[in-house]
């Protein structure tokens, strides 16, 4: 499935605007470690395209070692990455599970074996955010194992007896009872065609796990809402097994009111704004943080506790927030522009410019239902004419084939398919 060019919402069509303050909490104080690996980015020449601003978003460029690809992110002075603080989000998800177990101790051990068994649907072993979410949830649950100082994010396959060397059993005491927390099974949900985060693959995996473990499955966890909702609708809801997602998509937030145990919002509105605002500032030759940390002429500014900037990785990381039965109603209209950064820029100082923006998979639940609509809400106030280019989720060539005339655009926002493929896009601009 692919996207064709479409006009986005223009100025004045912002719809509902929301308060930012409640969504900006829980920012991790632990910085991402940025190291320069063996990756070598092509050196931009003096061409106009090579000097144009580039923002990678949602899927961070990685080098061969799995660290942020600093070479790619240093392509020129106006190249950045925008994404969520995924490890902090994973820890939030794990803490949600723990809080739920403590609050529902009377019904939590379905197998009556003193073992709280969970299954984990992993999205994409090649993507930093997916790996960080897995690491974070294992850290919070106490099942994490480190290798060379880094929490292992590999799937365990099946771990019925708790002997896997990729995770460990943890303990949880509730009142006078002590339970073992065990990752019974986990798998990367990649389809036969190579598409990650695949709902049907997750559904088939759950069928296998239910056949193998039955009532020993006490908790279901998904690296994203798409997979979590598939598992919730297919089996977990009917069997009253608490299920936890990640992304804060509209359907998942609504489902929290109908029995989904929880999800994690990525503060997607902040991410969408940062993605386009960084391009706008570069196009205007303005300070990087204008309208972000610094108030612009129209009064736009983000509260500082909603994000952090890592100068070594040239990356903005946005804070996540847990959504449960206690606060989901506050987030039912999650796809909305933030009033503190929605003021229209003056076209005399910020004239209309064209942006080429790729989406790694046009059918991705989160990008389609949340991120892309938010981008459409911000491009008008920022005087940006954005073309969406939707990929197939399988190979970057599918997207690059539609970057045949980069000279027609003033800036680029790139959502990689393979996170090690940043240089392929940059070569097209060199």
CB atoms within 10 A of CB 99: 15
Q: How far apart are CA 70 and CA 288, in angstroms?
A: 18
Report all structural domains of the chain as residue ranges with CATH numbers, in order of start.
17-31+42-82+268-429 (no CATH), 87-265 (3.40.50.2300)
Instruction: Please tell me the predicted confidence (pLDDT) of residue 284.
Output: 98
Examine the pLDDT at 36 and tell me if it is beyond 80.
Answer: no
Residue 120, helix vs strand vs coil: strand
Rounded to 10 degrees, what is the CA torsion of 224, 264, 207, 363? -30
Examine the pLDDT at 363 and tell me if it is beyond 70.
Answer: yes
Examine the pLDDT at 258 and tell me if it is beyond 80.
Answer: yes
Instruction: Please tell me the predicted confidence (pLDDT) of residue 49.
Output: 72
Looking at per-residue confidence, does 364 or 242 come out higher? 242
Instruction: Please tell me the predicted confidence (pLDDT) of residue 207.
Output: 98
Structural tokens at position 409: 């655009």
Q: Which of 34-43, 194-203, 227-236, 261-270 shows the lowest mean pLDDT across its residues?
A: 34-43
Residue 338's DSSP bridge partners are 18
User: Cα–Cα distances in Å, from 127 out to 116, 194, 244, 315, 361?
Assistant: 28, 14, 20, 16, 14
Quick: pLDDT tens for 275-328. Answer: 999 999 999 999 999 999 999 999 999 999 999 999 999 999 999 999 999 999
Examine the pLDDT at 329 and tell me if it is beyond 60.
Answer: yes
Pairing status of strand 315-318 against strand 79-84: parallel
Instruction: Please tell me the predicted confidence (pLDDT) of residue 41.
Output: 45
Q: How far apart are CA 371 and CA 142, in angstroms?
A: 32
Q: How far apart are CA 152 and CA 426, in angstroms?
A: 31
Average of pLDDT values for 140-150? 96
Query: Model pTM?
Result: 0.79
H or E element: which one contains 254?
A: helix 250-256
């Amino acid at each position: 499935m692919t996207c064709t060019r479409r006009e986005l919402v223009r100025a004045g069509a912002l719809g509902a605007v929301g308060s930012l303050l409640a969504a900006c909490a829980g920012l991790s104080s632990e910085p991402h470690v940025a190291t320069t690996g063996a990756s070598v980015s092509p050196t931009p020449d003096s061409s106009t395209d090579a000097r144009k601003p580039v923002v990678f978003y949602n899927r961070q460029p990685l080098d061969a070692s799995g660290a942020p690809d600093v070479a790619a992110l240093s392509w020129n002075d106006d190249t950045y990455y925008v994404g969520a603080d995924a490890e902090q989000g994973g820890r939030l998800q794990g803490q949600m599970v723990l809080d739920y177990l403590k609050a529902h101790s009377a019904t939590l051990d379905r197998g009556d074996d003193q073992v709280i068994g969970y299954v984990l649907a992993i999205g994409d072993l090649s993507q930093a955010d997916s790996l960080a979410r897995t690491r974070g949830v294992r850290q919070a649950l106490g099942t994490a194992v480190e290798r060379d100082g880094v929490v292992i994010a590999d799937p365990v396959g099946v771990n019925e007896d708790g002997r896997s060397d990729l995770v460990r059993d943890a303990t949880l005491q509730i009142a006078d009872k002590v339970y073992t927390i065990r990752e019974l099974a986990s798998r990367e949900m990649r389809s036969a065609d190579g598409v990650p985060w695949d709902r049907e693959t997750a559904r088939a995996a759950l069928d296998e796990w239910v056949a193998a473990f039955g009532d020993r499955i006490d908790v279901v966890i998904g690296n994203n809402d798409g997979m979590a909702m598939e598992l919730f609708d297919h089996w977990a809801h009917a069997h009253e097994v608490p299920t936890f997602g990640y992304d804060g998509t509209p359907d998942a937030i609504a489902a929290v009111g109908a029995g989904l145990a929880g999800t994690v919002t990525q503060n997607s509105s902040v991410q969408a704004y940062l993605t386009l605002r960084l391009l706008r500032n570069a196009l205007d030759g303005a300070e990087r943080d204008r309208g972000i940390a610094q108030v612009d002429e129209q009064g736009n500014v983000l509260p500082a506790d909603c994000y952090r900037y890592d100068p070594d990785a040239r990356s903005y990381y946005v804070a996540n927030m847990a959504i449960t039965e206690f606060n989901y109603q506050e987030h039912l209209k999650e796809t909305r522009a933030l009033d503190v950064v929605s003021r229209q820029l003056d076209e005399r100082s910020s004239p209309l410019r064209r942006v080429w923006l790729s989406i790694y998979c046009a059918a991705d639940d989160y990008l389609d239902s949340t991120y892309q609509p938010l981008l459409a809400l911000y491009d008008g106030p920022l005087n940006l004419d954005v073309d969406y280019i939707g990929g197939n989720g399988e190979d970057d060539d599918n997207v690059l084939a539609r970057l045949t005339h980069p000279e027609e655009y003033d800036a680029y926002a790139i959502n990689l398919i393979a996170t090690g493929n940043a240089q392929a896009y940059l070569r097209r601009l060199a």
